[in-house]
Structure 1
Amino acid sequence: MIDPDYPNIVLAFVYRDFKIQIARDQWRGQDIYTAWVDYKLGSAVAVPCAITTKLAIRKAKRWVDKRMQNID
Protein backbone atom coordinates (compact mmCIF):
# COMPACT_ATOMS: atom_id res chain seq x y z
CA MET A 1 0.00 0.00 0.00
CA ILE A 2 1.22 3.49 -0.81
CA ASP A 3 2.10 5.71 2.15
CA PRO A 4 -0.33 8.69 2.03
CA ASP A 5 0.96 12.24 2.45
CA TYR A 6 -1.08 14.00 5.12
CA PRO A 7 -0.99 17.80 5.30
CA ASN A 8 1.01 19.30 8.15
CA ILE A 9 -1.57 21.80 9.46
CA VAL A 10 0.19 24.66 11.28
CA LEU A 11 -2.78 27.01 11.68
CA ALA A 12 -6.57 26.74 11.45
CA PHE A 13 -9.29 29.36 11.90
CA VAL A 14 -12.83 30.23 10.82
CA TYR A 15 -13.40 33.16 8.47
CA ARG A 16 -16.96 34.03 7.37
CA ASP A 17 -18.21 30.49 8.15
CA PHE A 18 -15.37 28.89 6.14
CA LYS A 19 -12.76 26.86 8.01
CA ILE A 20 -9.32 27.74 6.67
CA GLN A 21 -6.37 25.47 7.35
CA ILE A 22 -2.80 26.44 6.54
CA ALA A 23 -0.47 23.50 5.85
CA ARG A 24 3.31 23.58 5.60
CA ASP A 25 5.37 21.44 3.25
CA GLN A 26 8.78 21.65 1.61
CA TRP A 27 9.72 22.08 -2.00
CA ARG A 28 13.36 22.21 -3.10
CA GLY A 29 14.42 22.76 0.51
CA GLN A 30 12.16 25.76 1.10
CA ASP A 31 9.03 25.85 3.24
CA ILE A 32 5.84 26.46 1.28
CA TYR A 33 2.28 26.89 2.54
CA THR A 34 -1.05 25.71 1.20
CA ALA A 35 -4.48 26.95 2.28
CA TRP A 36 -7.33 24.43 2.45
CA VAL A 37 -10.89 25.68 2.85
CA ASP A 38 -13.76 23.61 4.24
CA TYR A 39 -17.35 24.77 3.77
CA LYS A 40 -20.88 23.35 3.58
CA LEU A 41 -20.51 21.92 0.07
CA GLY A 42 -17.06 20.38 0.51
CA SER A 43 -13.39 21.32 0.55
CA ALA A 44 -11.06 23.14 -1.80
CA VAL A 45 -7.44 24.14 -2.11
CA ALA A 46 -7.80 27.91 -2.09
CA VAL A 47 -4.07 28.61 -2.24
CA PRO A 48 -1.91 25.89 -3.80
CA CYS A 49 1.39 27.57 -2.92
CA ALA A 50 2.54 30.59 -0.90
CA ILE A 51 5.97 31.41 0.48
CA THR A 52 4.76 32.65 3.90
CA THR A 53 1.86 31.89 6.22
CA LYS A 54 0.83 35.54 6.08
CA LEU A 55 0.55 35.42 2.29
CA ALA A 56 -1.37 32.12 2.40
CA ILE A 57 -3.84 33.61 4.90
CA ARG A 58 -4.34 36.78 2.83
CA LYS A 59 -4.95 34.82 -0.38
CA ALA A 60 -7.30 32.37 1.37
CA LYS A 61 -9.39 35.24 2.75
CA ARG A 62 -9.59 36.75 -0.76
CA TRP A 63 -10.70 33.35 -2.10
CA VAL A 64 -13.49 33.24 0.50
CA ASP A 65 -14.49 36.87 -0.18
CA LYS A 66 -14.84 36.13 -3.92
CA ARG A 67 -17.09 33.14 -3.21
CA MET A 68 -19.22 35.21 -0.84
CA GLN A 69 -19.67 37.94 -3.50
CA ASN A 70 -21.00 35.35 -5.94
CA ILE A 71 -23.58 34.21 -3.37
CA ASP A 72 -24.91 37.71 -2.61
Structure 2
Amino acid sequence: MAFERNVGGIDRIVRGVLGTWLLLVTIRAMLNGQRTKAFATGIASVGLLFNVVIGWCGLNAALGVDSCQR
Protein backbone atom coordinates (compact mmCIF):
# COMPACT_ATOMS: atom_id res chain seq x y z
CA MET A 1 0.00 0.00 0.00
CA ALA A 2 1.47 3.34 -1.03
CA PHE A 3 0.85 6.48 0.97
CA GLU A 4 1.01 9.99 -0.40
CA ARG A 5 3.59 12.03 1.51
CA ASN A 6 2.11 14.60 3.87
CA VAL A 7 5.13 15.46 6.05
CA GLY A 8 7.77 17.75 4.62
CA GLY A 9 9.79 20.92 5.04
CA ILE A 10 10.15 22.40 8.49
CA ASP A 11 7.64 19.89 9.88
CA ARG A 12 9.91 17.01 8.89
CA ILE A 13 13.01 18.70 10.34
CA VAL A 14 11.29 19.42 13.66
CA ARG A 15 10.04 15.82 13.89
CA GLY A 16 13.56 14.56 13.17
CA VAL A 17 15.18 16.73 15.84
CA LEU A 18 12.49 15.94 18.42
CA GLY A 19 12.57 12.22 17.59
CA THR A 20 16.35 12.11 17.97
CA TRP A 21 16.20 14.00 21.27
CA LEU A 22 13.52 11.62 22.57
CA LEU A 23 15.67 8.67 21.54
CA LEU A 24 18.51 10.05 23.67
CA VAL A 25 16.09 10.56 26.58
CA THR A 26 14.97 6.95 26.13
CA ILE A 27 18.53 5.63 26.30
CA ARG A 28 19.30 7.71 29.39
CA ALA A 29 16.09 6.59 31.10
CA MET A 30 16.91 2.93 30.38
CA LEU A 31 20.39 3.34 31.83
CA ASN A 32 18.90 4.92 34.97
CA GLY A 33 16.30 2.18 35.42
CA GLN A 34 13.32 4.42 34.61
CA ARG A 35 11.42 1.85 32.60
CA THR A 36 8.10 3.70 32.31
CA LYS A 37 9.78 6.89 31.10
CA ALA A 38 11.94 4.88 28.69
CA PHE A 39 8.89 3.10 27.28
CA ALA A 40 6.87 6.29 26.77
CA THR A 41 9.69 8.29 25.19
CA GLY A 42 10.73 5.29 23.11
CA ILE A 43 7.27 4.96 21.58
CA ALA A 44 7.11 8.69 20.84
CA SER A 45 10.61 8.63 19.34
CA VAL A 46 9.86 5.69 17.06
CA GLY A 47 6.65 7.35 15.88
CA LEU A 48 8.31 10.65 15.03
CA LEU A 49 11.30 9.06 13.34
CA PHE A 50 8.96 6.79 11.35
CA ASN A 51 7.16 9.93 10.11
CA VAL A 52 10.50 11.44 9.06
CA VAL A 53 11.71 8.37 7.18
CA ILE A 54 8.40 7.56 5.47
CA GLY A 55 7.23 11.15 5.01
CA TRP A 56 3.70 10.25 6.03
CA CYS A 57 1.70 10.80 9.22
CA GLY A 58 -1.63 9.15 9.92
CA LEU A 59 -2.84 12.01 12.13
CA ASN A 60 -1.98 14.54 9.42
CA ALA A 61 -3.92 12.41 6.92
CA ALA A 62 -6.95 12.20 9.23
CA LEU A 63 -6.92 15.97 9.81
CA GLY A 64 -6.26 16.82 6.16
CA VAL A 65 -2.90 18.47 6.94
CA ASP A 66 -0.18 18.42 4.28
CA SER A 67 3.15 20.15 4.97
CA CYS A 68 4.82 18.98 1.72
CA GLN A 69 5.62 21.58 -0.88
CA ARG A 70 4.50 20.44 -4.30
Q: Same fold (TM over 0.5)?
A: no
Q: Which has the higher helix share?
A: 2
Q: TM-score, normalised by structure 1?
A: 0.30
Q: TM-score, normalised by structure 2?
A: 0.31
